């Protein structure tokens, strides 16, 4: 039997700031990818309901501004609450297609008020949520929208012959975040991004060489036609956003020797797939194995707190 695994990047656009319409698009993409035999399918960062592109274009740091408050309130309203079942349709699509799905969402946890997080949700082929990594540190203007996450989702899980982990966007630049997954035997790393080969081109090959792993980088698209019918302050927002596209893609796949299996793809919607072979990981790790013979746990120690952050702990 072949050990190969068919993986794919779903480079699609959201129906911007519309959770239900975007989730329907995700489920449709999963079903379509299954026809081609895809066994692991990943989507871009915060695809559901979309990346907060407006912040840097509309003076997002202005304090107590009615325009910013209205957009933020709409964004929070369209975020995903996993506990109330808002990802159930995606989980069911994963289950019926026997496919692992990694989906970027804006998450609004039930126990954390109305704060939202950029989360990479890993859904196993049996429809179970295997991990939910809330972005450890939102980048620059993202901090005006997203709260800081925790280490609860720094977990790997088995997908066929591979051990898979996932990080959000610039989390991938954090050496210790990468090391925490490598220490759990990761040999297929999924990096999700809002969109741009500027973000994915160099780091994807670097992470592959560092981890002697396959690295699948998945980006989103954002174009004029991806606007929904109505948004708060729509005319002002359209004027401020300017030229399109804001997210041109850039999805790609590098092998454990750093060579491209899929070079960065921009300005194109689609499901870009490849078959990967764990024997190539073993070949690459003959010389360098970052969590095996080339690690020095007697010298370096990494301690990771994977407890989920909560506002209070109650003893009854």
Domain coordinates in residue numbering, the chain: 5-284
| Cβ-based neighbours of 197, under 8 Å, separated by 6 or more | 219, 248, 249, 250, 252, 264, 266
Residue among 172, 168, 268, 264 nearest 221 (CA): 268
Backbone φ and ψ for 314, nearest 5 degrees, come out as -110, 130
In the prediction, which pLDDT does 2 show?
Answer: 60
Both structure tokens of 65: 């501004």
In the prediction, which pLDDT does 156 show?
Answer: 98
Q: Choose the catalytic residue: 39, 45, 142, 186.
A: 45
Homologous superfamily (CATH) for 5-284: Carbon-nitrogen hydrolase (3.60.110.10)
Compute CA 96 distance to the chain's CA centroid, rounded to the nearest angstrom.
22
The CA distance from 214 to 124, in Å, is 19
Strands 5-11 and 247-254: unpaired
pTM: 0.96
For every one of its 316 residues, what pLDDT tens digit does the chain have, with 9 covering 90 and above? 468 999 999 999 999 999 999 999 999 999 999 999 999 999 999 999 999 999 998 999 999 999 999 999 999 999 999 999 999 999 999 999 999 999 999 999 999 999 999 999 999 999 999 999 999 999 999 999 999 999 999 999 999 999 999 999 999 999 999 999 999 999 999 999 999 999 999 999 999 999 999 999 999 999 877 877 688 888 888 888 877 678 999 999 999 999 999 999 999 999 999 999 999 999 999 999 999 999 999 999 999 999 999 888 899 9
Active site (annotated) includes residue 69 = no
Q: Choose the catalytic residue: 107, 135, 210, 266.
A: 135
The CA distance from 258 to 276, in Å, is 13
Q: Choose the catalytic residue: 91, 132, 169, 252.
A: 169
Active site (annotated) includes residue 45 = yes
In the prediction, which pLDDT does 1 show?
Answer: 44
């Amino acid at each position: 039997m072949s050990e190969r695994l068919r993986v794919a990047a779903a480079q699609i656009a959201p129906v911007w700031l519309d959770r239900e319409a975007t989730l329907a698009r995700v489920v449709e993409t999963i079903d379509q990818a299954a026809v081609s035999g895809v066994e692991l399918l990943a989507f871009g960062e915060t695809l559901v309901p979309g990346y907060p592109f407006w912040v840097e274009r509309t003076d997002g740091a202005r304090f107590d501004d009615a325009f910013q408050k209205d957009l933020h309130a709409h964004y929070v309203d369209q975020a995903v609450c996993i506990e109330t079942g808002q990802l159930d349709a995606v989980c069911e699509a994963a289950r019926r297609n026997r496919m692992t799905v990694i989906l970027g969402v804006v998450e609004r946890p039930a126990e954390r008020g109305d704060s939202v997080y950029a989360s990479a949700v890993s859904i196993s082929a049996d429809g179970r949520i295997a991990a939910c990594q809330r972005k450890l540190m939102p980048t620059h203007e993202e901090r005006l929208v997203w709260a800081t996450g925790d280490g609860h989702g720094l977990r790997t899980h088995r997908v066929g012959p591979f051990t898979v982990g996932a990080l959000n966007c610039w989390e991938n630049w954090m050496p210790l975040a990468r090391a925490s997954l490598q220490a759990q035997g990761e040999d297929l790393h999924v990096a999700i991004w809002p969109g741009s080969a500027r973000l994915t081109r160099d780091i994807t090959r670097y992470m592959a060489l560092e981890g002697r792993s396959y690295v699948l980088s998945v980006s989103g698209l954002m174009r004029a036609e991806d606007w929904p019918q109505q948004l708060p302050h729509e005319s002002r927002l359209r004027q401020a956003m300017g030229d399109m596209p804001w997210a041109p893609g850039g999805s790609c796949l590098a092998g454990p020797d750093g060579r491209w299996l899929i070079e960065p793809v921009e300005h194109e919607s689609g499901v870009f797939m490849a078959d990967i072979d764990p024997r190539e990981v073993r070949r690459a790790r003959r010389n360098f194995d970052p969590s095996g013979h080339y690690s020095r746990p007697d010298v370096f120690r990494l301690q990771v707190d994977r407890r989920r952050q909560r506002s209070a702990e109650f003893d009854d």
